[in-house]
A and B are shown apart, each in its own frame.
Chain A
Amino acid sequence: MSKKINIQSRRQFIKTISAGTAIAATGIAGFPLIARAASPVKVGIVHPVTGWAQYSGSQCRFGAMMALEEINAAGGIKSLGGAMLEAVLGDAQSKAEVGAAEVEKFNEAGVSAIVGAYASNICLATTQAAAKHGIPHVVDVGVNDKIVGRGLENTFRFGPGFGIITKAGADSFLAINKAAGSPTKRVAIVHENTTGFGAGIAGLMTKALQPDGIDVVEVLPHPTPNKDFRNIALKLKEIDPDVVIPSHYYNEGVLFLRTLQRQKVQPKAIYSVLGGASSQYRFVKEFPEAAQYVIDCNHWFDPKNKDALAVRRKTEAAGKHFNYEVFLAYTAMKFTADAIERAGSADRGKITEAMAGSNWSGHIMPYGPTKMENGQNIGARPLVTQVQGDEIVVVSPSEYADTKAVFPRPA
């Protein structure tokens, strides 16, 4: 009896051992993979959250963090066994050299990719510093075309640069003007000239409009920051252009449009290109009269995309304004996460390859499937919006338009 039991026990014992060994072997072989996969993937997020660009930088950080939290809430990076994304935050203090120093901090922290850094001059420094360490860097806002034109293999921009935006801005303006029976012929450009973007846009707009018979009667530069637009408003009153084309940052945008309102400068249209305030919900809410009928060619989300509207609701529920800084940084982070997913690795080189070959289309922007050429997403484009009532609506191009532009605006 006892022998039988012993035999049975021995058989059971061998069976148990075999099964246990198999499970253990699977465990031993599998555990490191699971452990490795489950370790978080670090992403550096650098923006100017103090200094002159503090508001925009904070908005960018909010957008990037919202995307990161969504990705983690949805189960992290699936190809890495659900690895979470871990943010390593940096403050560029609105200075290029501090931005570059933050990249060194990221490198030491072992980040796999970087998202940032809002202003063009900071982006130029951070992308260069990231290239030194082979860290893929996704530029969220910086529109200077030189950022992606230097042959840096690690640098990608998901949104459009000012070359693309200005061309689209000029084309749309000519189309809207023509559709309205060409009521405007004389244009004045008002642009910031302290940083690269405003001065670049003014030059390109002048070149783009003149061949089509639009007379650029005056180009009025101003510094950033600028505390007084009365001289420019008086000059505009004197030359009385049909259209004013402003191009500047948020604070100057608000002050400029409010000064035009107070000085009763009433051109037939205000058509901004990267107008700073012209397509900002905050501005529309705080100064609805000054914002009324202002047109802006700028970064904008796909208004027919349900996810975009959900992101807007979520942003507003958090007490933030849903502006271009938020959705561009949000998209840049999602693009980064998609590349990590495709790469199936936290390795910087593999993520760079995945970014370069990305055809990601699950985003909220009107760009279509991603296609990178020399680091620039060539499908990226701006939309033309107009403030109508208390809403900002898309008026061009037709495939994204909510309604038609009110052009010229009512007197």
Chain B
Amino acid sequence: MNSRGQLLGLCVLMVILAIGPLLISSGRWIEFLELTLFVAVLGQGWNVLAGYGGQYSFGHAVFFGTGAYIQALLQFKFGWNPWVAMWFAMSGTTLIAAGIGYLSFRYGLRGSYFALITLAFAEAFHVLARSLDSITEGGRGVQLSLNQDPSQAIAEFQFNFAGPFLKTYGFYYTIFIILLITYLLTWLMSNSRFGAQLIAVRENEEAAMALGIDAFRVKMKAICLSAIITSSAGVYYVQKFLFIEPGIAYGPAKSVEALFAPIIGGLGTIVGPLLGSFFIHGVGEVAKEVIVYFVGDRPGVDLIFFGMILILVLAFLPRGLYGLLEMLWLRLRGKHNA
């Protein structure tokens, strides 16, 4: 499917995601969609660097966590407005990403070496967040004060005690808008000169350099864009839960979530992370309901079921769900033309 086809598919998905929740009043399913979109944003951050650029990171939590910590600390320590803090959170994370990228790419780290160095950085930030007590509040974490005044809901970027609409849909549309912007950015990138250069670097770095592409510069741009996207998920997380601690910010869970969605959905595609996230959460939820229906509440059994499906997807769909959809689409079109 060409880029225009992908954009068309993405537009249809976005329209459904924009209107769909208004048709369902179920808080449970809105929460489900919110979590799905949150992981889809995390996944797109990883996808830009790994899917398009071929730089597989195992420590993307470093960008999520840093964005979340800056967003939380600027409010907690200095009383900044969250709408102002978010720009500094994303810029600060971009600077950190530039530092990590410079140290890694400058010394030619690729493949598993790059994966390991990103893992090491995430762990180093985990230790720093726990140890720099006077700055990060250490293991206690940062707890933001809760606004219970509905008239201040928008100003405080907290919708738990807002009016009926914002209370139900406030955070859903926050993550939806973040998703919309980040996916648009990814589409623009993939259709730009920079996107083509990034894909060339992914395919064969030496050949790309021989063609005059500055691979270092391209990879630096990619890691910075990836960090901006991932840190926006961190900003959302802090505003939604008003709490961040080292384990949540820099623990391995977020790094794994970030890479699972695009790998399952389709690496190096715009809609891949969204498809993957829907699949992960959808299958998880369905598995849970099926297990409860047939054998009662058996915690963890749904995870075994989910794991089996995951293995099947990885074994038989090397190009992810996007590859499957593309294949089905081509077959349908072939039949239609015949």
Pairwise interchain contact B130-A194, C-beta atoms closer than 8 A: yes
Give the total number of A-B pairs whose CB atoms are below 8 A apart: 101
The yes or no answer to B203 lying at the interface (CB within 8 A) is no
Kindly specify which of B90-98, B242-250, B261-269 makes contact with the partner chain.
Answer: B242-250
Question: How many Å from the CB of A110 to the closest CB on chain B?
Answer: 12
Cβ 8 A contact of A104, one of B31, B145, B161, B246: B31
Chain B 76-99 interface 0/1 with A at a Cβ cutoff of 8 Å (1 = within): 000000000000000000000000
Bound-state CA distance A54–B26 (Å) is 29
Q: Is the interface of A mostly helix, strand, loop or mixed?
A: helix
Which residues of chain A (70-122) have a CB below 8 Å from chain B?
89, 91, 95-98, 100-101, 104-105, 107-108, 121
Digit string of B286-313 for contact with A (CB within 8 Å is 1, else 0)?
0000000000010110010000000000
Cβ-based interface call for B217 (8 A) = no
Chain B 38-55 per-residue mask, 1 if CB under 8 angstroms from chain A, else 0: 100000000000000000
Once the chains are docked, how many angstroms separate the CA of A129 from the CA of B171?
Answer: 12
Which of the residues A50, A107, A128, A195 comes within 8 Å of B299, measured between beta carbons? A50
- Who on chain A is nearest to B127 by CB? A223
> In the complex, which residues of chain B have a beta carbon less than 8 angstroms from the beta carbon of A101?
28, 31-32, 35
Given A97-B35, A195-B139, CB of A105 within 8 Å of CB of B28: yes
Q: How far is the CA of A45 from the CA of B283 in the complex (A)?
A: 23
Q: How far is the CB of A121 from chain B (nearest CB, A)?
A: 6
Query: Given A199-B140, A221-B131, do A100 and B241 touch, yes or no (CB 8 Å)?
Result: yes
Contact among A50, A58, A199 with B303 in the assembled complex (CB-CB below 8 Å): A50
Inter-subunit contact A91/B299 (CB<8 Å): yes
Q: Closest B-chain residue to A131, C-beta based?
A: B160
Q: A193 in the interface, Cβ–Cβ < 8 Å?
A: yes
Chain B's closest residue to A191 (CB) is B139
Tally of B interface residues using CB under 8 Å:
38
Assess the A132–B160 pair: CB atoms within 8 A.
yes
A194 in contact with B139 given A49-B299, A96-B248 (CB within 8 Å): yes
Interface string of A27-55 (1 = CB under 8 A from B): 00000000000000000000001100010
| In the complex, A198 has a CB within 8 A of chain B | yes
Q: A138: CB under 8 A from chain B?
A: no
Option from A54, A128, A144 in Cβ contact (under 8 Å) with B146:
A128
A124 contacts partner chain B, Cβ-Cβ < 8 Å: yes
A193 lies within 8 A of B300 (CB)? no
On whether the beta carbons of B253 and A95 are closer than 8 Å, the reply is yes
CA distance A224 to B146 in the complex (A): 28
| Chain A residues within an 8 Å CB radius of B131 | 193, 221
Given contact pairs A195-B245, A224-B247, A100 touches B139 in the complex (Cβ within 8 A): no
Closest Cβ of chain A to B71, distance in Å, is: 16
Q: Is the CB of B241 within 8 A of A193?
A: no
Let me know if B140 and A200 touch, CB within 8 A.
Answer: yes
- Which residue of chain A is the closest to B137 with respect to CB atoms? A199
B221 contacts partner chain A, Cβ-Cβ < 8 Å: no
Contact: A132 with B167, CB < 8 Å? yes
Q: How far is the CB of B241 from chain A (nearest CB, A)?
A: 5
Contacts A/B (CB < 8 Å), 20 sampled: A50-B303, A97-B241, A100-B31, A104-B27, A104-B31, A105-B31, A107-B28, A121-B243, A125-B241, A150-B146, A193-B138, A194-B130, A194-B246, A195-B141, A196-B139, A196-B140, A199-B139, A221-B131, A223-B130, A224-B247
B: which residues have CB within 8 A of A? 26-28, 30-32, 35, 38, 126-127, 130-131, 133, 138-141, 143, 145-146, 148, 160-161, 167, 237, 240-243, 245-248, 253, 297, 299-300, 303
Given contacts A128-B241, A151-B146, A192-B139, 8 further A-B pairs with CB under 8 A are A50-B303, A58-B299, A105-B31, A152-B146, A193-B139, A195-B139, A196-B141, A199-B130
